[in-house]
Structure 1
Amino acid sequence: MKEINDIIKAYDQALRMGEQSALATVVHVEGSSYRREGARMLITEKGQLTGAISGGCLEGDALRKALLAMAQQRPMLVTYDTNDEDDATIGLGLGCNGIIQVLIEPINATKANNPIVLLKALAAKRQKGVLVTLFSLHDKKAIQPGTRLLLTPDQNHGDAFELTNILLKDAQTVLLQQQSVFKEYIFETAPVDAFIEMILPAVALIIIGAGNDVIPLVKMADILGWQSTIVDGRPEYARAERFTAGCQVLLSKPENLLDQITIDDRTVFLLMTHNYNYDKTMLPFL
């Protein structure tokens, strides 16, 4: 989710500056690659890159392709074949062996359900979601439908599409099983591929303890995109200014903590107050 949130911020900034942007998404991988399906990168017309689709090897070429997609206002599917020993075929030394399909979608800000709108709907709540992206491996020169549907536990978002009912059923299965899948459908006698992607909310890290060793831990969690909450019963330690700006700091007794936070199956607790009695009192509540 961190990459998605960073992309949303970068898009909003580009929009304020009046810049066009495009979203590059790894939609299919055969073999090995640095990033897997679902990796995303926002590209602005001035060349700013947010997120990544590889270890740094594909981004330059993806930028050039994205500028073309923005100029044509047409999504395109780009294939990077790193199995080829002759890296000159794409002019890059990639160091991996796989075939990587990257969908590049110019973002039309006037379109009600453009890909960024769907990402924003997903990020607006702490919830699981399934994002459906359509493309054609059979005919890469055909019009690529792109990111079309978002299903969350409480509703779905997206443009009307002839395959919507079938996609919804398959997306509901993915939401239930929490496992991304690829599907091929037949649309107007031609095959269309779907990456039905399960996206989970960020890990919520509840750290019981606000000692000095928690400070670097919170920084690491922030890099990972985890949502940190720090809890301590000592007012001299439980001070927000000691930690990363994005984290929450609570001054609480063990018996009151669970009434102040929300817990789900993506929540992790760490007991590290270095105060044996506090940790011992907290543990039965957990």
Structure 2
Amino acid sequence: MTGHDDIWNTLYEAWSSGETSGLATVVRTFGSAPRPTGSSMLLTPEGRIVGSVSGGCVEGDVLERARETILDGTPQQATYGISDNDAFAVGLTCGGTLEVFVEPVSIRTFPELAEVIESARAGIPVAVATVLDHPRPEAVGAHVVVRADGHYSSLHPLGAPTDLVDDARHLLRTGDSGLLTYDTEGVRIFVRPLVPPPRMLLFGAGDFAAALTTIGRTMEYRVTVCDARPLFTTADRFPDADEVVVARPDAYLAQEAAAGRVDTRTVIVSFSHDAKFDIPLLETALGLDAAYVGAMGSRRTHLRRTQALSEAGVPALALARLSSPIGLDLGGRSPAETAVSIAAEIIAARYGGRGEPLSHRAGPVHSLHAVR
């Protein structure tokens, strides 16, 4: 439940007690909207607020809608933008537009919530599909819970589009929220994946890895540091790591991939300067469908590395996926500054960013589509 643990855990507490909460979710954005789709704000039965949908711009109006939906049990939809007549009261000063769905959440309106929470806590990815528009008004606000294996459950006879499960499974694989529109049926459904945090696998127990561990955790990755040298690979040297593993890097990566613990969101970085570890590791990594594979080293090291990988049989197309020398050109030199440049490249790879100053180009501030 990446980034939303507090909201979902708090929601489940109220649900379990038989109370009704108000859940507001950003289901669509345009332009420079302040928060991405899937961002949520929860109003608990006792009046506590958890989360945010806009960073403060429209929270007051959304909060009032949440109060209303708790009282009357009816979902609401609202669109906010700078062009609103009440722009100064509830508009977005950043100039973007966002669409928010506000729903009452209780055992009656969301009977599948227990299954969602149990799966998420067990590390089983699930996608929650919420009906926003439907020819049958009683279906609005209903939910379908979809798992990666195609299993789905709902206590509501929605008559939902047959493509919904496949579409939800695709979003579940990428970890991205998405709004699905089925024009022929007049149906709109918002899909929000609840997945374990993406993994960041760092190989080479040095200062640069330690710096990226701290940033990676802030970016909500589950960070593992792996090195074959037990003297350097200790938990006290990497306090921000979720795991510190003493193992041969390529063997550990192959083991994790075989166990299904490497996916299309996984980030793999080699800080090793020893070819006997570096080359087998990258050979393994470039054979996986990971989000990002990077390796530290000079341009001379990169040339030697790519030659060795090519001789090992790594195809040119796979080699082209290797980010080396690693990071964006920010001009920094220290481990912390280098870690920022690597993190910046990882973000750019995910969202299709170009790594240039926003002040140097026109158009939307935020990318419209994530690469992964």
What residue in structure 2 maps to residue 172 of structure 1? 166
- On the 8 A contact 2:203/2:249 being kept in 1, the answer is no
Residues 203 and 269 in structure 2, CA contact (< 8 A), matched pair in contact too: yes
**2: CA distance between counterparts of 1:123 and 1:58?**
31
1:162 and 2:161 aligned: no
Letter in 2 for 1:146: G
Of Structure 1 and Structure 2, the greater helix share is in 2
CA RMSD of aligned residues (A): 3.7
- 1:131 paired with 2:125, answer no
Task: Please tell me whether the aligned partners of residues 202 and 266 of structure 1 are also in contact (alpha carbons under 8 angstroms).
Answer: no
Change (3 A) 1:15 1:266: same
Instruction: Deviation per CA, 1:48-68: give whole Å up to 9, x if none.
Output: 433321132122332232223
**AA partner of residue 128 (structure 2):** L
What is the aligned partner in structure 2 of residue 102 from structure 1? 100
Alpha-carbon spacing, 1:50–1:161, altered in 2? closer, same or farther (3 Å) = same
Q: Deviation string for 1:233-283 (max 9, x for gaps)?
A: 232332234445671111112353135423223222111145565434533
Equivalent position SS for 1:213: helix
Find the counterpart in structure 2 of residue 45 from structure 1. Answer: 45
Equivalent residues in 2 for 1:69-88 (5 A)? 69-84=69-84, 86-88=86-88
The aligned residue for residue 181 of structure 2 is 183
| Identity, % of aligned positions | 26
TM (norm. structure 1) is 0.76
Q: Determine if contact 2:22/2:44 at 8 Å carries over to the other structure.
A: yes
Are 1:264 and 2:263 counterparts? Answer: yes
Secondary structure class of the residue paired with 1:3: coil
Give 1:182 deviation, angstroms. Answer: 2.9
Does the 8 Å contact 1:209/1:230 carry over to 2? yes
2:265 aligned partner, one-letter code: R
Instruction: Label 1:21 to 1:240 Cα distance change in 2 as closer, same or farther (>3 A).
Output: farther
Do the aligned residues in 2 keep the contact of 1:3 with 1:51 (CA within 8 Å)?
A: no
- What is the match of residue 232 of structure 1? 227
Aligned residue in 1 for 2:11: 11
Task: Decide which moves more: 20-29 or 224-233.
Answer: 20-29
Note the residue ranges of structure 1 that are not aligned, 5 or more in a row: none
Q: 1:214 to 1:48 in 2, by over 3 A?
A: farther
8 Å CA contact 2:26–2:53 kept in 1: the answer is yes
Q: Is the 8 A contact 1:122 1:152 kept in 2?
A: no
Counting matched residue pairs gives: 276
* Further displaced range: 247-256 or 224-233: 247-256
Residue 246 to residue 16, structure 1, CA distance change in 2 (3 Å): farther
Gap regions ≥5 residues in structure 2? 286-372
Q: 1:230 to 1:278 in 2, by over 3 A?
A: same
TM-score scaled by structure 2? Answer: 0.61
Judge conservation of contact 2:233–2:245 (CA < 8 Å) in 1. yes
